[in-house]
A = this chain, B = another copy of it.
Amino acid sequence: MFEAKIDALVLRECIESITAVVDEGKLRVAEDGFKLRAVDPANVAMVSFELQRDAFDDFRFEKGSDAEATTESAAATEVGIDFNKLHGILGIGGSAEVNLKLDEQAQKLFTRMGSLAYTVSLLDPASLRKEPKVPELEFPVQVIIETDEFRRTIRAAEKIGDHIMLGVDGEEFYMEVEGDMDKLRLGLRKEQLIHLTPGTLHSLYSLDYVAAMSKGMSHAENITLNLGKDYPLQVDFEVADGKGKVSYLLAPRIESE
């Protein structure tokens, strides 16, 4: 049994952070809130999402008594959701609060925004990509940057090239994109950032993926970039006023020299 109330804008922000990487996924609903981990169709990007139960105005969850739930995984319910569909409807509701209710028997999610009720069939979890394992990664460098500055640079970069280099050179963080005739570079010194681990390394990423991710983080004030040398990029940020956490993981592109 799951039933909850949540601010419509908070739910929208959460869904946008997911749809930046995947259209659909398996949401785990448990006593302590929501969790999701999903990988994009090309297997290049991953999103990990967590929302605490206190991000909700009301949150009730009980695992069906038929299943003797003792292990952690058994104490959760997996719900296959088309997040894109849900997002489209949330944008129009015109209501401040959303009520969610799960009907496991009928495999449906009921959503109510004021007088508007939206019912969507759950996706068969077997039809969804398997939840990815989070690889064990160690990032030598962390950079905390204002989201607006990051997003503005990505928007400019998209006019120039297809790949973006993120790197650290001493006490400077940089983002760099090269076109046939031109080059754009954002360089921020330690004191212009919220945090920087000094170092000398960089990696190259597909700009399409970074641009999609940058849309998912638009409500966060700051983001943390976890970087290595020719290494995946991990971007962490908060949603729901700090009551939710999102991590994006993106595989690097190999530089052709």
Given A121-B181, A152-B92, A181-B120, CB of A186 within 8 Å of CB of B85: no
Minimum CB–CB distance from A27 to chain B (whole Å) comes to 16
Q: Within the assembled complex, what's the spacing in Å between the Cα atoms of A155 and B156?
A: 30
The number of residues on chain A lying at the interface, defined by a beta carbon within 8 Å of a beta carbon of chain B, is 31
The A interface, classified by DSSP as helix, strand, loop or mixed, is mixed
Give the residues from 129 to 149 in chain A that come closer than 8 angstroms, CB to CB, to chain B: 148-149
Complex interface bits, A162-195 against B, C-beta within 8 A gives 1, otherwise 0: 0000000000000000000111111110001000
Q: Which residues of B contact A160 (CB under 8 A)?
A: 89
User: CA A184 – CA B153 in complex, angstroms?
Assistant: 39
* Min CB–CB distance A61 → chain B (angstroms): 23
Given contacts A92-B155, A94-B152, A156-B93, A182 and B85 within 8 Å (CB-CB) = yes
Interface string of A55-97 (1 = CB under 8 A from B): 0000000000000000000000000001001001100111000
Number of copies: 3
Chain A residues with CB under 8 Å of chain B are 82, 85, 88-89, 92-94, 115-121, 148-149, 152-153, 155-156, 159-160, 181-188, 192
13 residue pairs from A and B, CB less than 8 Å apart: A85-B159, A92-B152, A92-B156, A92-B159, A94-B148, A94-B149, A115-B149, A116-B153, A116-B156, A116-B186, A118-B184, A119-B183, A120-B182
6 further interface pairs, Cβ-Cβ under 8 Å (given A85-B159, A115-B149): A82-B181, A89-B184, A94-B149, A116-B156, A117-B185, A118-B182
